[in-house]
Amino acid sequence: MSPSISILNQPHLPALEPFRAAVPPVLTRLLHHPDYFPIRTWSRIFKSDSGEDGYFANTLASPSTIPHVCTLRRQPELLAPLSDAAPAWPAPTSVSQIENPDLYLVLQLATPGISGHPSTAHGGLLATCIDEAMSYAVALRAPETGAAGALSAHHPRGMLYTAQLDIRYRAPVVVPSYTLVQAKVLARVGRKFWVHAQILQPDEMAESQLSVTTDAIAFWLQTKASL
């Protein structure tokens, strides 16, 4: 199936609507950045025939959890070439922000449905959001595997699975809030992918800036269609 008709390549402007008001200016600028465009968030579409994505499309799609999500992908011609060597492991130890991410998730985080400590997002929820962003970043890079291929309009993430996820929680994520997840594929060796992702929130001291609250690296595997 041609990548041109993939959900990952089709602009979806309605995704911007819930974020047109009340979003911090630093995120508003990102929503209209010329290097990125909104696409449909595949995991927010519940697949009733299989039950797939019930967690992100139903459980985490309520007024008290994550009411709205906008996925922004980098223009295809601007995606950076991938390294063919695995990066250093474990997770990055620097808090410098990822440059030119492949993909962003802009999230409206509510409360109390995702709270761990008071007014603080649960760490497991943050891991979920990172994993979702990574899945799309890998899907942008993964070759087709047939009818359920990574670039298929019916199943854009294809046979892609998280094999290892290493996270550094650097600062609490305050809720309710608007939060950003950014992800970038670092390297690919055959069917193996390494991805870097971060969660950012507007800085309490300077809302025009974003601070890294969570830093992660993961190893992803694209399995064969027969699995």
**Sorting pLDDT into bands at 50, 70 and 90, what band is 119?**
very high
Q: Which residue did the predictor score with more confidence, 159 or 128?
A: 128
Tokens (6 digits) for 154: 């019916």
**Sorting pLDDT into bands at 50, 70 and 90, what band is 207?**
low
Using the predicted structure, report yes or no on whether residue 8 has a pLDDT greater than 70: yes
**Sorting pLDDT into bands at 50, 70 and 90, what band is 74?**
very high
pLDDT tens-digit readout, 16-25: 999 988 889 9
Distance CA 157, CA 175 (A): 29
Residue for token digits 């309490």? 204
Buried residues in 178-197 as b, exposed as e (16+ CB within 10 A): bbbbbbbbbbbeeeebbbbb
Residue 165 CB contacts under 8 Å (≥ 6 apart), including other chains: 127, 130, 131, 216, 218
* Secondary structure (3-state) at 227: coil
Q: Which of 23-27, 175-179, 201-205 has the lowest mean pLDDT?
A: 201-205
Q: Which of 46-55, 114-123, 137-146 has the lowest mean pLDDT?
A: 137-146
Using the predicted structure, report yes or no on whether residue 62 has a pLDDT greater than 50: yes
Q: Which of 110, 103, 99, 98 is nearest to 178 (CA)?
A: 110
Over range 58-87, report the average pLDDT: 96
Integer angstrom CA distances of residue 86 from 67, 80, 90, 107, 163? 36, 16, 11, 30, 14
The CATH number of the domain covering residues in 7-83+98-222: 3.10.129.10
The model's pTM is 0.89
Q: Which residue did the predictor score with more confidence, 27 or 153?
A: 27
